């Protein structure tokens, strides 16, 4: 039996609904771009544990998808502009809701989420056009600029979360486990607590309460490629996101609710940052992330704030611990452990 390999591409503190939008849109791209060989094959799934969500992608699928998008961008350089215009029109329609903060009517939220799912099609196109270094320069420059300025994903996720909390305050702390189909009739707190611990979701196709390992046992045709963390590592390497040098104590931030704990001079360590992290980033002496490239949020904000930043270390959040004393050399792209915190 040939197994399908999945790689973890990022970890976020997000609702399952926004990730369902991402996965559902991949199905649409599959059908519209002639990738029928992936019918019945999982392109992407998300795994929530401890409230954080990991996104796992079929790397062969992602490569083929990017090839198809590249082909379209090369054939018609105006296609990206058409999609950009459509994306912006849909985003403009959502902005009033972002400003409002939340809604309290379930039917209204269902309709807004429907619009969010449709908008994700254009967001995906922009995302992959920016990600692919082969994209024609005239298109990629626009895609990178849009990616740098676009707040659709973060603002929409924040709006969905706040609306769920406003409608179902008794589910606070577990609202991220509600699925699109459950907006008008969510699970009990007990079910959502189980999901918060371990929950696998395949778009809108299926879900599984349990660990990723248990899910793999139930689906032996799938192989999740785990990143092996070296034992006894004392130095991390990554890309320079923002130049500089800093020394300080580590502050690990995995969830948005931890942002208020930030203190001046922290070495902020996260899987990746989003808009919500900016207040903590302002206080930080330096920023270190597991993920990201030169145009990721952490790198862009670090350069704006003139903060030392090392991105793409792969496992900083697993190797480092709160209180560790580290030296960040964002000229070389290294993070050196000077003293481990044994508290």
Least confident among 197-206, 260-269, 288-297, 309-318: 288-297
20 in a domain, yes or no?
Answer: yes
331 in a domain, yes or no?
Answer: yes
**Residue range 75-97: mean pLDDT, rounded:** 94
Q: What is the pLDDT of residue 342?
A: 77
Q: CA torsion sign, 313 to 19 to 184 to 189? A: negative
- Shared domain for 63 and 212, answered yes or no, is yes
Per-residue pLDDT reduced to its tens digit, 134-145:
999 999 999 988
- Shared domain for 206 and 294, answered yes or no, is no
Q: What is the pLDDT of residue 149?
A: 80
Least confident among 147-151, 170-174, 188-192: 147-151
Domain that holds residue 256: 235-339
Q: How many domains does the chain have?
A: 2
119 in a domain, yes or no?
Answer: yes
Per-residue pLDDT reduced to its tens digit, 195-212:
999 999 999 999 999 999
CA 175 – CA 1 distance, rounded (Å)? 38
Taking 80 as the threshold, does the pLDDT of residue 293 lie above it?
A: no
| Higher-pLDDT residue of 227, 42 | 42
Q: What is the pLDDT of residue 230?
A: 80
Per-residue pLDDT reduced to its tens digit, 90-132:
999 999 999 999 999 999 999 999 999 999 999 999 999 999 9
- Shared domain for 119 and 208, answered yes or no, is yes
100 in a domain, yes or no?
Answer: yes
| Higher-pLDDT residue of 231, 333 | 333
Residue 51's DSSP bridge partners are none
123 in a domain, yes or no?
Answer: yes
- Shared domain for 211 and 292, answered yes or no, is no
Per-residue pLDDT reduced to its tens digit, 19-56:
999 999 999 999 999 999 999 999 999 999 999 999 99
Question: Domain end: 207, 225, 243, which one?
Answer: 225
Taking 70 as the threshold, does the pLDDT of residue 310 lie above it?
A: yes
Q: What is the pLDDT of residue 297?
A: 85
- Shared domain for 215 and 244, answered yes or no, is no
With helix as H, strand as E and coil as C, how does 294-311 read? CCCHHHHHHHHHCCCEEE
- Shared domain for 183 and 268, answered yes or no, is no
Per-residue pLDDT reduced to its tens digit, 232-263:
899 999 999 999 999 999 999 988 889 999 99
With helix as H, strand as E and coil as C, how does the chain read? CCCEEEEEEEEECCCHHHHHHHHHHHHHHHHHCCCHHHCCCCCEEEEEECCEEEEEEEHHHHHHHHHHHHHHHHHCCHHHHHHHHHHHHHHHHHHHHHHHCCCCCHHHHHHHHHHHHHHHHHHHHHHHHHHCCCCCHHHHHHHHHHHHHCCHHHHHHHHHHHHHHHHCHHHCCCHHHCCHHHCCCCCCHHHHHHHHHCEEEECCCEEEECCHHHHHHHCCCEEEECCCCCCCCCEEECEEEECCEEEEEEEECCCHHHHHHCCCCCEEEECCCCHHHHHHHHHCCEEEECCCCCCCHHHHHHHHHCCCEEECCCCHHHHCCCCCEEEEECCCCEEEEEECCCC
Question: Domain end: 178, 196, 225, which one?
Answer: 225
Question: Domain end: 197, 225, 253, which one?
Answer: 225
- Shared domain for 137 and 284, answered yes or no, is no
- Shared domain for 28 and 108, answered yes or no, is yes
Taking 90 as the threshold, does the pLDDT of residue 67 lie above it?
A: yes
282 in a domain, yes or no?
Answer: yes
| Higher-pLDDT residue of 17, 228 | 17
Q: What is the pLDDT of residue 186?
A: 98
- Shared domain for 8 and 33, answered yes or no, is yes
Average pLDDT, the chain: 93
- Shared domain for 199 and 264, answered yes or no, is no
Backbone angles phi, psi at 153, to 5 degrees: -65, -50
**Model confidence band, residue 1 (pLDDT cutoffs 50, 70, 90):** low
Q: What is the pLDDT of residue 256?
A: 86
- Shared domain for 147 and 187, answered yes or no, is yes
Q: What is the pLDDT of residue 190?
A: 97
291 in a domain, yes or no?
Answer: yes
230 in a domain, yes or no?
Answer: no
Q: What is the pLDDT of residue 107?
A: 98
- Shared domain for 212 and 239, answered yes or no, is no
Q: Of the candidates 198, 180, 202, which has an alpha carbon nearest to the alpha carbon of residue 45?
A: 202
Could you tell me the CATH number of the domain that includes residue 263?
3.50.30.10
DSSP code, position 187: P
Taking 90 as the threshold, does the pLDDT of residue 163 lie above it?
A: yes
Count CA within 13 A, CB hemisphere, residue 241: 31
């Amino acid at each position: 039996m040939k197994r399908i390999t999945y790689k973890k591409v990022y970890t976020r503190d997000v609702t399952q609904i926004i990730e369902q939008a991402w996965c559902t849109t991949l199905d649409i791209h599959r059908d519209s771009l002639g990738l029928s060989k992936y019918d019945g094959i999982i392109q992407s799934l998300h795994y929530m544990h401890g409230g954080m969500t990991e996104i796992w992608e079929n790397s062969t699928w992602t490569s083929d998808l990017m090839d198809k998008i590249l082909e379209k961008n090369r054939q018609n350089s105006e296609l990206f502009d058409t999609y950009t215009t459509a994306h912006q029109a849909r985003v403009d329609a959502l902005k009033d809701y972002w400003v409002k903060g939340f809604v309290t009517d379930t039917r209204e939220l269902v309709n807004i989420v429907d619009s969010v799912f449709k908008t994700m099609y254009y967001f995906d196109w922009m995302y992959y056009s920016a990600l692919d270094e082969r994209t024609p320069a005239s298109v990629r420059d626009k895609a990178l600029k849009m990616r740098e300025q676009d707040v659709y994903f973060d603002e929409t996720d924040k709006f969905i979360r706040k609306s769920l909390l406003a409608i179902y305050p008794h589910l606070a702390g577990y609202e991220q486990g509600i699925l699109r189909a459950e907006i008008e009739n969510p699970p009990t707190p007990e079910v959502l607590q189980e999901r918060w611990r371990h929950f696998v979701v395949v778009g809108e196709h299926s879900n599984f309460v349990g660990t990723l390992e248990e899910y793999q046992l139930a689906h032996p045709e799938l192989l999740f490629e785990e990143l092996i963390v070296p034992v006894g590592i004392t130095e991390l390497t990554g890309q320079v996101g923002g130049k500089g040098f800093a020394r300080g104590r580590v502050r690990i931030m995995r969830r948005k609710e931890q942002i208020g704990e930030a203190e001046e001079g922290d070495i902020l360590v996260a899987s990746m940052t989003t808009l919500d992290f900016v207040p903590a980033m302002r206080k930080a002496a330096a920023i270190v992330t597991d993920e990201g490239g030169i145009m990721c949020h952490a790198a862009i904000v670090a350069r704006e704030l003139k903060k030392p930043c090392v991105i793409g270390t792969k496992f900083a959040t697993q190797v480092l611990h709160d209180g560790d004393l580290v030296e960040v050399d964002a000229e070389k792209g290294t993070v050196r452990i000077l003293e481990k915190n044994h508290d």
